[in-house]
Amino acid sequence: MLRFLSPSRPASGHGLAYNLGWWIGRLIIWFVVGSFAFTVLYKFVPVPVTLTMITDANGITKDWTPLSRIDRNMVAAVIAGEDAKFCDHNGFDTNAIEKAMERNADGGRLRGGSTISQQTAKNVFLWQGSGFTRYLRKGLEVWFTFLIENIWGKRRIMEVYLNVAETGIGTYGVEAAAQRYYRHSAARLSRVEAARIAAALPSPKKRSVVAATGFTRRHGNAIAARSTVVRSSELDGCVYD
């Protein structure tokens, strides 16, 4: 137990180091146990809210929808647009990470090589943003990605991702996006509709899903074309096995 020391009995450096180590050790244990418990819980129950949602000044519009009621076109679109190796990697695409590090080393805007699994781990358990805390978040992201890959599996990761990803201003999940942009449920998204939602995912507050122009329109068309390959080559097979 940590003792409160009086001025008349100053603690030695050894004693302070022991007490600090005692608390750090227990914080680590609590974190590991707590993160494991929440990961197991979210394998079976919908994620009620995320830190990103709570801190969104635009409010929250969301509607948790089981993967069985989300059109397969949407799954193909996010794999085509965000993570073509989703079914093959263990949560981390080493080739994409290496390429991102090479681009970042050349200067300019930082770019990541995050997989859908990493994005899901960040969206559910962590926070957004840059700066110093970005490096702490990246470290924690590795841990949570490892947990969801081994506890949830690919199908559940995809289901959670499609329900918590920001899809517009104050809009979260593909069901809310389908209702907002197309006035129908995510259960009947066309290939082009799904591709346009996927094209906006990297920057949902800035990229328009409907009446898209410029890069967003071209990117959406490219995703629509690639999603056909995803379906025909069964690159989404791990989600439906």
Could you tell me if 25 and 139 lie in one domain?
A: no
Residues counted in the chain = 241
Neighbouring C-beta atoms of residue 240, cutoff 10 Å: 12
- On whether residue 4 sits in a domain, the answer given is no
Is residue 194 a part of any domain in this protein?
A: yes
Please tell me whether residues 77 and 191 are part of one structural domain: yes
Enumerate the β-bridge partners of residue 62.
Answer: 172
Residue 98 is predicted with a pLDDT of 72
147 burial level (CB within 10 Å; 0-12, 13-18, 19+):
buried
pLDDT exceeds 50 at position 5? no
pLDDT at position 12, please? Answer: 59
Percent of the chain surpassing pLDDT 90: 75
33 shares its domain with 67: no
Handedness of CA 50, 54, 56, 58 (dihedral sign): positive
What is the 3 state secondary structure string of the chain? Answer: CCCCCCCCCCCCHHHHHHHHHHHHHHHHHHHHHHHHHHHHHHHHCCCCCCHHHHCCCCCCEECCCCHHHCCHHHHHHHHHHHCCCCCCCCCCCHHHHHHHHHHHHCCCCCCCCCCHHHHHHHHHHCCCCCCHHHHHHHHHHHHHHHHHHHHCCHHHHHHHHHHHCEEECCEECHHHHHHHHHCCCHHHCCHHHHHHHHHHCCCCCCCCCCCCCHHHHHHHHHHHHHHHHHHHCCCCHHHHC
**Domain co-membership, 28 together with 90:** no
> Domain tally for the chain?
2
207 and 131 share one domain? yes
pLDDT at 3 over 60: no
Tokens of 180: 């907002």
* pLDDT the model gives residue 211: 83
Residue 8 confidence class, pLDDT cut points 50, 70, 90? very low
Calculate mean pLDDT across residues 203-209. 92
pLDDT confidence band for 51 (50 / 70 / 90): very high
* Same domain assignment for residues 117 and 206: yes
Mean pLDDT within 156-181: 98
Indicate if 139 and 120 belong to the same structural domain. Answer: yes
d(CA 82, CA 65): 20
Query: Does the structure show a pLDDT above 60 at 4?
Result: no
Domain housing 30: 12-45
pLDDT at 182: 97
56 and 166 both lie in a single domain: yes
Task: Please answer whether residues 178 and 189 qualify as being in contact, where contact means their C-beta atoms are separated by less than 8 angstroms.
Answer: yes
The pTM of this model reads 0.88
Assigned domain for 3 exists: no
Distance CA 17, CA 29 (A): 18
The mean pLDDT of 63-83, rounded to a whole number, is 98
- Residue 108: the pLDDT is 53
Whether 124 and 231 share a structural domain: yes
Q: Are residues 16 and 80 in the same domain?
A: no
Q: What is the pLDDT of residue 132?
A: 79
Cα–Cα distance for residue pair 74/93, rounded to 1 Å: 21
Q: Is residue 5 part of a domain?
A: no
Q: Are residues 41 and 93 in the same domain?
A: no
Of residues 183 and 9, which shows the higher confidence score? 183
Q: 99 with 130: CB under 8 angstroms?
A: no
Q: Does residue 142 form part of some domain?
A: yes
